[in-house]
Structure 1
Amino acid sequence: YLDAGHGGWLGWKNNMKDFVTTIKNLGVASHLRGFATNVAGYQALGKMCPEFDWCLNNAHPDDECCYDPCGLTAEWDPSQNEHNYAMHLHMAMSEGIEGFEPHIIIDTGRNGVANERADCANWCNIRGAGVGLIPTTATADPDIIDAYFWLKTPGESDGCTQTLPDGTQCPRFDADCGSPDSLGSWPGEPRAPEAGAWFDYQIKMLATNAHME
């Protein structure tokens, strides 16, 4: 499975068209089972719509599958949840690359809360996040989605705060990890360790806010 970002990055039709062209030009489709989406991400799983662009132009505002906590459909991104993104990705690749019928796995390790961010561009150690669905092959559409899986281990830090837990300065500090949505940016919160290190405060928060079913 090749990493395919998430619907908030590649979900726009033009972005998807470019992604299909890239995969086609690389000549790797025959080596792929499909794609992994939302890896280490917080994009909501949501409910799968009848069609991938079902929610555009405010066409079905009362349909549960059009719930859009990040306001992506207002920006003409039809992939406002990861289920619809998986459908879009599968369709675009199947139509754009002959003989390629990709399957998708979706990282649900940290997307159990849909509306926890003030700005959905924020991605680092998000405050208020929760663990999502437990790993399973019982998906919304098994013909497209192979599994929900915790591809990034819940509790692994996305990146460090400017000051590390031991009080030293983080040499790999990314300003995005100082966003208002990021743990450690509020007074009284523990500082975040470097990316990949165990973040005990985060895993306890993810467990408290978990929606695993």
Structure 2
Amino acid sequence: MAFTYFFRDLQTLQMICDHAIPTLRSRRYINVWDAGCAMGPEPYTLAMLLREGIGHMYFRNIKIKATDIDGSNLFDKIILEGIYPKEQVERIPKDVFGKYFVNDNKEGHFRLTDEIRKSVTYQKHDLLTLKSIGKDFGLILCKNVLLHFNEVQRIEVLRMFHESLIDGGYLAMEQTQKLPKELEALFEPVVSNAQLYRKISS
């Protein structure tokens, strides 16, 4: 299970909120797939940012499905109940932390509010099966995963993501991961300073 932390690569996440979500808000529901979620900080971070940006009423229409190949801890208390030790939440801006975390019964631990926790569901999934978990995603987030694959595997996984997105849906990747040239006809870049792409409709 890959290492990650709350508010990692904030620039990419903010670009999603600024460019992808305003377009997707025309839909009644927004389905999000976070592929390679590790111990949950990334999908929960995205949920908090979305909640901040769009408010309580519309946030109820966002569903985040988070997956990881290592299922050993995916359904542990730390993820399902959104409980994290103090050292893992110290990077979170204080104003955001104060809104979406409360003290847990266990000393030195903090628990996410139900609103944020219930917006994310978790399941084990191996991207290299090339079998999607759905076909109606407005946004797919895949960071710190593709670098572990060879070039052929990366291309095939990204093709699978393309097929899993709605027309005009968005793909966000790790800042160091560039879109392979073989797929330039499938996605168009949204910004120049982040790996955020929009599906080109066929």
| TM-score of the superposed pair, with normalisation by structure 1 | 0.34
Compare the two structures and name the one with the higher strand fraction: 2
Compare the two structures and name the one with the higher helix fraction: 2
